[in-house]
Amino acid sequence: MRKLRLLAGLCLALLTSPALAANLIFGVQDFSRDPRMLVLQFRGMAKYLGRELGQPVIVEAAKSYSLYMQGAKNHRYDFMFGPPNMILQARAAGYEPVVRIPGRLSAAFVSLAQSGIAFPEDMKGKRLGMPAPESLMAQLAASKLRQSGMDPRRGFGETLILKSPDDVLSALKLGLIDVGVVNSTQYETWSARGYNLNLIMQSDSAPNLTFAVRGDLPAAFREKLKAALLTAARDADAASYFKLTGFPGFEPAGAADLSGLAALKPATD
């Protein structure tokens, strides 16, 4: 009788867990990169994961934040990778964080050294260059402005939405903006290269890029994916991603890592 109950439980688990498709869909999105280039960036990682998981992995780059979140809501992706604020939204659709890039992310407010804009009060009424409102950097920046008593919507003479950090730097040099928001790591890179910039202020930090998997997929599959990701940096194919980005690899992640992000909201709110 005990064997029959165990067998019945196993059958029920198999029936209630969705079957894995022939191809596994790996969803990615990046505000600053062309989707076609993004697919190429993750080609080596997909090849490695396909080999480890025993099924082909197809990289699918969403053209926008809204399409990416809609894909998550519809369970289009078997697993997805992106900023933690996106993964937090995907959790509502049942995705579970498994690994992340080590370190923390924060937004830096920068200006040209010769601009005379060096303190938060100097920014009032100036022209601001920001990433897309749904991006993690924009949301961290907006949160910092509110903490500093500034209105992200009305505290500046003009706000220009810029696609990439390079666009921010170009806009500063061309005099199109007075203050720009970039990832603090990008500011540190520019400083190391000798760019003469002021760091006006920096936001609170958030977890780094995070990898999540559908929570309704079999536990054995989720564990196998996590194990593969934790050793990905040692594989020749997957290492192409880490060589390109400079990231050291992945470390374990969980839902608790995202708990501090719930209060973030776009600068337009």
Give pLDDT tens digits for 217-268: 999 999 999 999 999 999 999 999 999 999 999 999 999 999 888 777 766 6
If you average pLDDT over residues 142-170, what whole number do you get?
91
Cβ-proximal residues to 245 (8 Å cutoff; 6+ apart), any chain:
none
* pLDDT per residue as tens digits for the range 5-56: 444 444 444 444 555 668 999 999 988 788 899 999 999 999 999 999 999 9
Task: Describe the strand order of the beta sheet including 24-28 as a list of residue ranges.
Answer: 57-61, 24-28, 79-82, 210-214, 95-100, 251-252
C-alpha closest to that of 142 among 206, 65, 98, 78: 206
Task: Write down the pLDDT at residue 124.
Answer: 93
Record the pTM: 0.86
Q: Which of 204, 219, 237 is the last residue before a domain boundary?
A: 204
Token readout for 42 is 């993750």
C-alpha closest to that of 203 among 100, 131, 253: 131
How far apart (Å, rounded) are the C-alpha atoms in residues 99 and 249? Answer: 10
Same domain, 251 and 231: yes
Token readout for 31 is 């505000």
If you average pLDDT over residues 137-149, what whole number do you get?
93
Cβ-proximal residues to 183 (8 Å cutoff; 6+ apart), any chain:
105, 106, 107, 108, 137, 165
If you average pLDDT over residues 119-124, what whole number do you get?
94
Task: Write down the pLDDT at residue 98.
Answer: 98
Task: Write down the pLDDT at residue 267.
Answer: 61
Q: Is residue 255 part of a domain?
A: yes
Task: Write down the pLDDT at residue 269.
Answer: 58
Q: Give the pairing type, strands 158-161 and 107-112.
A: unpaired
Task: Write down the pLDDT at residue 12.
Answer: 46
Task: Write down the pLDDT at residue 7.
Answer: 43
Same domain, 76 and 146: no
CATH number of the domain to which 200 belongs: 3.40.190.10
Same domain, 131 and 253: no
* pLDDT per residue as tens digits for the range 162-201: 999 999 999 999 999 999 999 999 999 999 999 999 999 9
* pLDDT per residue as tens digits for the range 58-104: 999 999 999 999 999 999 999 999 999 999 999 999 999 999 999 99
Same domain, 91 and 154: no
Same domain, 86 and 131: no
Same domain, 199 and 223: no
Please check the confidence at residue 140 and state whether its pLDDT lies above 90.
yes
DSSP 3-state assignment of 58?
strand
Same domain, 89 and 213: yes
Token readout for 133 is 């409102």
Q: Which of 167, 186, 204 is the last residue before a domain boundary?
A: 204
Q: Is residue 266 part of a domain?
A: no
Strand-pair partners of 251:
100
Strand-pair partners of 252:
99
Q: Is residue 124 part of a domain?
A: yes
Same domain, 50 and 13: yes
Same domain, 156 and 97: no
Task: Write down the pLDDT at residue 2.
Answer: 46
Crossing angle (nearest 10°) for helices 136-147 and 84-91? 100
Residue 231 sits in which domain range?
A: 2-103+208-259
Task: Write down the pLDDT at residue 32.
Answer: 78
How far apart (Å, rounded) are the C-alpha atoms in residues 241 and 238? Answer: 6
Task: Write down the pLDDT at residue 171.
Answer: 97
Task: Write down the pLDDT at residue 1.
Answer: 47
Q: Phi and psi for 56 in degrees, rounded to 5?
A: -60, 140
Measured CA to CA in angstroms, residue 135 lies from 34, 140, 163 at distances of: 16, 9, 10
Q: Is residue 131 part of a domain?
A: yes
Number of domains in the chain: 2
Q: Is residue 95 part of a domain?
A: yes
Cβ-proximal residues to 243 (8 Å cutoff; 6+ apart), any chain:
none
C-alpha closest to that of 182 among 192, 174, 172: 172
How far apart (Å, rounded) are the C-alpha atoms in residues 61 and 263? Answer: 27
How far apart (Å, rounded) are the C-alpha atoms in residues 209 and 198? Answer: 26
Q: Which long-range contacts (CB under 8 A, 24 or more apart) does 236-239 make?
A: 237/44, 237/45, 237/47, 237/48, 237/51, 238/44, 238/45, 238/47, 238/48, 238/49, 239/44
Q: Is residue 43 part of a domain?
A: yes
- Residue type at 181 in one-letter notation: V
